[in-house]
Amino acid sequence: MSRKLGIFGYPIGHSLSPVFQQAALDHHEIDARYEAWETHPRELGEAVACLRGCEYLGANVTVPHKVEVMAHLDEVDEMARLIGAVNTIVKRGDRLTGHNTDAGGFVEALRQAGGFDPRGRRALLLGAGGAARAAAFALVREGASELVIANRTLERAASLAVELGGRNRGVTAISLHDAAAIGETTSSADLVVNSTTVGMRHTPEQDTSPLPDCVLGSGSVVYDMVYNPARTPLLAQAELAGATAVGGLSMLIHQGAAAFELWTGKRAPVEVMFEAAERAMKGM
């Protein structure tokens, strides 16, 4: 019997997950299809319940469902509970367990694509949404000495900072509108991470960087979670400053690789997944 996997989202037509996950399944000759399941928020509970059918292995979850999906699962693992979001569902028997592979995928991307270890380093995180939460918890867990969260709405950044332990854990918040604070923090940061959608193709801010010009340090690593386009305005800015520029495709693939291993118990063919995603991006 052919098995099924897929990704819940709304909208979902832009997702690369079906491309690189199917490539991984085919590489291991696993008789399964990975599909994009466009799921309106009103339909989420019914859609998740379908995963209990014997033909399903599990699913991925993307916006806007990562938080709401938790109410429809039997169990949520510790990391997903801490982050407050699920991006991977695994079926064992008829039970559905939620996981969050974004945090681990982010750290793996930093190490593999950026040659960066967060331990003892200073980081600036732009944004305070779901993706930012995964990155923030990962950086604190990995021993970053200082984490500054910058968001347009300061209260949201401050709330996340408190959740992470605040000044006792070296976590503070600033406003993205505070140019002086942004400039000072960015120039001294070892790592700058953009978790916002600024610079993403097909958005009103596709030609914009979330940072002012001339604030990046030449020795820093700049990680943009936006993966389309491959070279965002922020990454172009980082290259001009002499910083190490890393695009978001690496995180997308590494979080997907961790999900693949949870579903199948097999080692994810990361290179195969990268190649499939890069080919698909060229056609976008």
3-state secondary structure 177-220: CCHHHHHHHHHHCCEEEECCCCCCCCCCCCCCCCCCCCCCCCCC
> Could you tell me if 130 and 220 lie in one domain?
yes
Q: Which two tokens stand for residue 238?
A: 């980082």
> Could you tell me if 79 and 96 lie in one domain?
yes
> Could you tell me if 20 and 120 lie in one domain?
no
> Could you tell me if 153 and 222 lie in one domain?
yes
Predicted pLDDT of residue 13: 85
> Could you tell me if 203 and 272 lie in one domain?
no
> Could you tell me if 22 and 79 lie in one domain?
yes
Which DSSP state fits 56? B
Determine phi and psi for 245, rounding to 5 degrees.
-105, 125
> Could you tell me if 269 and 208 lie in one domain?
no
> Could you tell me if 132 and 217 lie in one domain?
yes
Burial per residue of 218-229, b for 16 or more beta-carbon CB atoms within 10 angstroms, e otherwise: eebbbbbbbbbb
CA pair distance 243, 188, nearest whole angstrom:
12
Predicted pLDDT of residue 224: 97
> Could you tell me if 112 and 95 lie in one domain?
no
Residue among 118, 126, 132 at smallest CA distance from 176: 126
Predicted pLDDT of residue 198: 93
The number of distinct structural domains making up the chain is 2
Q: Which two tokens stand for residue 131?
A: 């993706």
Full residue range of the structural domain in which residue 63 is found: 3-100+255-282
Catalytic-labelled residue, pool 4, 66, 266, 282: 66
**Three-state DSSP class for residue 23:** helix
Count CB atoms within 10 A of the CB of residue 234. 25
Query: In which residue ranges of the chain is pLDDT below 70?
Result: 284
> Could you tell me if 113 and 237 lie in one domain?
yes
Conformation bin of residue 125: beta by default, left when phi > 0, alpha when psi is -120 to 50: beta
CA–CA distances in Å: residue 119 to residues 105, 113, 142, 184, 191: 16, 17, 6, 21, 11
Which DSSP state fits 153? S
Check which CATH number belongs to the domain holding 208 and give it: 3.40.50.720
Check which CATH number belongs to the domain holding 89 and give it: 3.40.50.10860
Predicted pLDDT of residue 212: 84
The reported pTM is 0.93
Distance of CA 141 to the CA centre of its chain: 16
CA pair distance 51, 218, nearest whole angstrom:
48
> Could you tell me if 193 and 232 lie in one domain?
yes
Amino acid 62 reads T
> Could you tell me if 270 and 236 lie in one domain?
no
Predicted pLDDT of residue 215: 81
66 is annotated as an active-site residue = yes
Helix axes 270-282, 249-264, angle to 10 degrees: 130
